Amino acid sequence: MSTVAYCSFIWGSGYITARARTRTHRSLQKTEEQKRRIMSVLRKINPTLQRICICEQENLGRRAMQIARELKQGVKKPYKELVDVSIGDAHSGGIKPITFVRQVIAACIYPELLHDSTLPADVKERAWRLMRECDGGSVGSYTEECGIPYVKSSVSEFITRRDGGVPASPENVFILSGSQTALMFVLSLLVHGEGSAQTGVAFPVPTYSSFAMALDELGAEMVPYYLCEEEGWALRVEELRRAVRASGLHCTPRALYVINPSNPTGNVQSRKIIEEVIRFAAEEKLVIMADEVYQDTVHEEGIDFVSYKRVLFELGPPYSESVQLASFHSVSKGFMGECGLRSGYVELVNLDPAVMEQACKWLSAGSCSAVTGQIALNIMVDPPRPGDPSYTMYSQEVKFKKDTLTCNVRRVQEVLEDIPGFTCQAVGGGFYAFPRLHLPQRAVQRAKELGVEADLLYCTRLLEEEGVCLEAGSSLGQKEGTHHIRLCLMTSTKTLGMVLKRLKRFHLRFLKEFS
């Protein structure tokens, strides 16, 4: 399926082609005379960029910013403040950073603080340790392009601890500017070719929109596989098989992207499913890209996160020696929530040394990721331990966030269960709830008349009338005829309370209007 056709299939009328988008810019064009004189050298721009699908959600995000500005300027609205839970950004939702992280970063940036009596000894020690790793002792120096070796070691040690002793090597760890960059890095190694030789990348529907945009940009052929909502958004290997086999006619599938715990669905994969996926990848000759950035956030009792790496290793040969795996983690999610620091890593498993060498060489032409982010990453994988001066505060802060998230998950499910027109699968892990909207036919019809998806109409009205910004399911992908919304739950309980109150009020009104 061509990318253009796919996009209209998945995102319905929410798909905005580059051409359609540019219609809105006609008004910005210069006078006729100037137009003639404009060189417009760039009119013939990179065609793969034109394919990047911007969903209407972008417009919603922009409108939200505009509303926030208007409120600041004193424009009267039915609400005093805008609440945005449309993206997985903990700090913007009122969650505080981890104190130890920020103390160490500040001390590394301004080493005078090392003489400050108010900073705990372990902060200073960590700052010293990290600055020693920087050329000239400064966080302003470039680091090695794949990351500071000490940080890479701490990452590989973390991986080994997490995976019950499964060995990990720092040489297989690449530190990059966030998991999005790391994903694009691995995709860049894999994606090439044209026509039926073009690399196909299998990915789940629904999936977070920046990933799909990255596939677009890199010119990958999209191979969507549907998660099963009725089974708690389970990944079913039969569906994977169907999708990959069907795609083989028009592309060469080479990669399988999974995200566990899932964004947006909150599904947490069992060991059994992971084993099935690995076996499938081995059969179909696919590199597994396992996005595990939400690995620290499993809410449901009795479920544990288990990494693809661990399962792969424990399956033993031949899988453990031949299946190629890239697993991703980041400081943006979990209890760090440090999206703005832009730091993450990928561990590459079973890749040829020759490929790794090429990858390193390629990275060397760019620059390292920001040092402040690498510092945060080091702390994430090697936090204060029991007995350290900062341990109590650190563990309290983490517990508070954990409890907040668990409490928010429970609250959302309780509230939505009671409101007609919502169903919500259990949220096992991750940052989000992804409830299904059962909208009256008249609402769907109205949306069609306006040329948008019904859930986008819903979210637009919610924003305008109640000042709440959510993500519409149509920008994440969903089965035709279904509608969803995504809310980020990694936010203060106060914020979530406000969201649920306004959402309920709006929802009942909306149902009434269109019944």
Amino acid at 493: T
Task: Give the nearest distance from C-beta 513 to other proteins in angstroms.
Answer: 32
Taking the least distance from each CB to other proteins, the nearer of 346 and 443 is 346
Structure-block tokens of residue 36 = 């003639």
Among 2, 8, 66, 364, interactor with other proteins by CB under 8 A: 364
Minimum gap (Å) between residue 199 Cβ and other proteins: 8
Within residues 230-249, the interface with other proteins by CB under 8 A covers: none
Handedness of CA 218, 194, 253, 473 (dihedral sign): positive
Residues 51-110 that bind other proteins (CB under 8 A): 52, 54, 58, 65, 87, 89-97, 99, 102-103, 105-107, 109-110
Cβ proximity to other proteins: between 178 and 261 the closer is 178
Which C-beta is closer to other proteins: that of 363 or that of 415?
363
- Is residue 177 part of the contact set for other proteins (CB under 8 A)? yes
Least CB distance to other proteins at residue 214 (A): 5
Q: Quick one: which of 254, 329, 333, 502 contacts other proteins (CB under 8 A)?
A: 254
Shortest Å, Cβ 25 to other proteins: 4
Find the shortest distance in angstroms from Cβ 267 to other proteins: 24
Shortest distance (Å) from residue 168 CB to other proteins: 19
Footprint on residues 303-342 left by other proteins (CB under 8 A): 318-319, 322, 324, 336-342
307 vs 495 by CB, closer to other proteins = 495
Q: Tell me which amino acid residue 80 is.
A: K
- For the bound state, the minimum distance from the C-beta of residue 451 to other proteins, rounded and expressed in Å, comes to 20
Q: Is 38 helix (H, G, I), strand (E, B) or coil?
A: coil
Site of tokens 């064009």: 29
**Among 231, 238, 283, 403, which residue interacts with other proteins (rule: CB under 8 A)?**
283
Segment contacting other proteins by CB under 8 A, of 174-182, 235-243, 395-403, 407-415: 174-182
Contact letters for other proteins, residues 104-143 (x by CB under 8 A): -xxx-xx-xx--x-x---------------xxx-xxxxxx
For other proteins, give the closer residue by CB, 301 or 365: 365
Report, in Å, the least distance between residue 188 CB and other proteins: 6
Region binding other proteins by CB under 8 A among candidate stretches 15-23, 125-133, 222-230, 306-314: 15-23
Distance in angstroms (rounded) separating the CA atoms of residues 131 and 446: 60
User: Which region, judged by CB under 8 A, interacts with other proteins, from 163-171, 277-285, 432-440, 480-488?
Assistant: 277-285
- Residues 454-483 binding other proteins (CB under 8 A) are none
Phi first, then psi: give them for residue 192, nearest 5 degrees. -170, 180
Taking the C-alpha atoms of residue 367 and residue 248, their distance in angstroms, rounded to an integer, is: 36
CA distance 448 to 431: 31
Strand-strand pairing, 483-488 and 432-433: antiparallel
Q: Which stretch binds other proteins (CB under 8 A): 279-287, 386-394, 425-433, 436-444?
A: 279-287
Nearest distance, CB of residue 402 and other proteins, angstroms: 18
Residues 143-172 that bind other proteins (CB under 8 A): 143, 145
Helix/strand/coil for 230: helix
Burial code (b: 16+ CB inside 10 Å, e: under 16) for 15-49 equals bbeeeeeeeeeeeeeeeeeeeeeeeeeeeeeeeee
Q: For residues 183 and 239, is the Cβ–Cβ distance under 8 A?
A: no
Beta strands in 152-244, from DSSP E residues, in sequence order: 173-176, 199-205, 221-226
**CA dist., res. 25 & res. 255, Å (int):** 37
Shortest distance (Å) from residue 145 CB to other proteins: 6
Which parts of 183-212 interact with other proteins (CB under 8 A)?
184, 188-192, 210
- How far is 253 from 247, CA to CA, in rounded Å? 7
Whether the link from the prior residue into 253 is cis, omega within 30° of 0, is no
Q: How far is the CB of 89 from other proteins (least distance, A)?
A: 5
Could you tell me which residues come within 8 angstroms of residue 20 by beta carbon, excluding any fewer than 6 positions away? none
For the purposes of burial, counting CB atoms within 10 Å of the CB of 237, is it exposed (0-12), middle (13-18) or buried (19 or more)? Answer: middle
User: Residue 42 CB, nearest distance to other proteins (Å)?
Assistant: 4
Relative to beta strand 199-205, strand 252-259 is parallel
* Cα atoms in the 13 Å half-sphere on the side-chain side of 478: 26
- Residue closer to other proteins, measured from CB, 210 or 423: 210
Nearer to other proteins, 135 or 238 (CB): 135
- Measured from the CB atom, the residue of 295 and 372 that comes closer to other proteins is 372
Q: Which stretch binds other proteins (CB under 8 A): 157-165, 224-232, 265-273, 369-377?
A: 369-377
**Beta-carbon neighbour count of residue 280 at 10 Å?**
18
How many residues line the site for other proteins (CB under 8 A)?
108
Backbone angle region of 266, left / alpha / beta, with phi > 0 → left and psi within -120 to 50 → alpha: left
- CB neighbours of 384 closer than 8 A, spacing ≥ 6? 100, 122, 390, 391, 394, 395
